[in-house]
Amino acid sequence: VQAARQDPATVLAGRAPAVADRAGWPLAGAALVVAGLGAIVVARRQPESTWVYSAAVLVLLGLVTLTPWLIRRTGVLAARLRLPLRVSVRDAVRHRSRTASAVAAVMAVTATVVAVGIGANSEYVDQRKAYTSARPTGMLAIWGGTMDDAGWTRLRAEAVRHLPGVPLASGYHAKDPQGRHYSLRYTVRWNGTRTRRTAAIGDEALLKLLQGRNDPRAAAALASGKAVVFDPAAVHDGKLTLRASSTTGPPRKLDVPAVLAEPAEEHMGGALLPRALVERAGFTTLERQLYGMHREPAGSTLWRDLAQVNRRVSIASEEGYRNLPDPSLWGWLAGALILVVGGTLAATRLAAADMRPERATMAAIGARPGTLRVVVAGQALYISGLGALVGLAAGMVTGVALSRPLTTHGAGDPATIAVPWPFVAAVVVGLPVLATLAALITRTRLPLTHRLP
């Protein structure tokens, strides 16, 4: 009965019979994909990324189920290809059960690596956007704290001696009539999180350092007694709301006139208050800070030298955002390289064994060895290329969904989506190209069927 069902031409040609698709599997696969996409939409709103990964499993299972159907549909395009590639694609379609497993493996690896890459890069970009400082990169700050006037005078002289040629701008502390030190602060949302900033007190020299340039408009506002603010969200109706707090005195709320200005760098926030504005609020101002654009070399003894004058001194150097993208992404790429290239070559060798009749026929009619290698490499290109393209679609959806739980910080905070395009291109384009080149240089000799006497 089994022999009667076989196609005579296929048997006489020595080819394996074509495998029919299982009825209903494409519909089941499509249903799983749709269910997985719906689950991802729900999961991306959860605080944990585990839910997104779990929902993505449904999508992958659906795509695995759809793979034989996709192979059959893409086989229609083989008629437009050159002969070696046409033979490769048609053989892959004929042996769908073998091809589907290899394509599904490449697809799963590609989808996982692309999703992890998008999620990790989005998290890195979000952290970089979340970084903020009240000082530009390269600024050195020296704080005298609550030291008395004599102590500050000695410390200032020592700082000037250790920093020859560095222009220093003065900063001031606020003090009430009872001698209690106050800090003037305000709260603002930065990249979705509430950030509390301490407003600086100073003159035009400090404003120039904070802006990195001369800004006549901001300088005029400061001279007229207005606060210069670098946080747009902190100014409402031309006012900045400050909270004056002290460890020993009662808190106060101040609404002061303010103007917005552009800081030296995009990560900067903060505000600069003129001394006259603070003094009108009932405080006195004391010079207790020095600022300058200066980077101390490695092994500098500046803090130790200044601490010998007064141990209450504090020093800070603004270095900017220092974190680098997650290097483990390249580990994922290396793992994908091993899995994709290794799996594709294994499937290609099986295909080469199944294609011996076709290759023998091509060799008999004069096909060159290079043409026969192209036939084998075409299998590798088809398997890895189709798997990479389908995996790219699944990975992009999962990666974009992952970006929400990884980069949001509460209701109303938009997700940061940053696709690492060079990394994605290396996975989706580079890996299939490497697999094809590896198959192209792999020797697949035809076995000798007989020897001439």
pLDDT at residue 443, rounded to an integer:
61
* H or E segment and range at residue 420: none
Residue 26: exposed, middle, or buried by beta-carbon count in 10 A (0-12, 13-18, 19+)? middle
Give residue-wise pLDDT tens across range 142-151: 999 888 999 9
Share of the chain above pLDDT 70, in %: 86
Q: Contacts by 423-428 with C-beta closer than 8 Å and gap 24+?
A: 423/117, 423/121, 423/329, 423/333, 424/114, 424/117, 424/118, 424/392, 426/333, 427/110, 427/113, 427/114, 427/117, 427/333, 427/336, 427/388, 427/392, 428/110, 428/114, 428/388, 428/389, 428/391, 428/392
pLDDT at residue 21 greater than cutoff 80: no
* Average pLDDT over all residues of the chain: 85
pLDDT band at 8 (very low <50, low <70, confident <90, very high): low
Q: Give domain limits for the chain.
A: 19-131+326-441, 139-317
pLDDT at residue 452 greater than cutoff 60: no
pLDDT at residue 283 greater than cutoff 70: yes
Q: What is the mean pLDDT of residues 166-192?
A: 91
If one compares 84 and 435, the residue with the highest pLDDT of the two is: 435
pLDDT at residue 2, rounded to an integer:
47
pLDDT at residue 90 greater than cutoff 90: no
Q: What is the mean pLDDT of residues 259-263?
A: 96
pLDDT at residue 374 greater than cutoff 90: no
pLDDT at residue 366, rounded to an integer:
60
Which pairing describes strands 200-201 and 271-273: parallel, antiparallel, or unpaired? parallel
pLDDT at residue 360 greater than cutoff 80: no
DSSP annotation of 249: S
pLDDT at residue 412 greater than cutoff 80: no
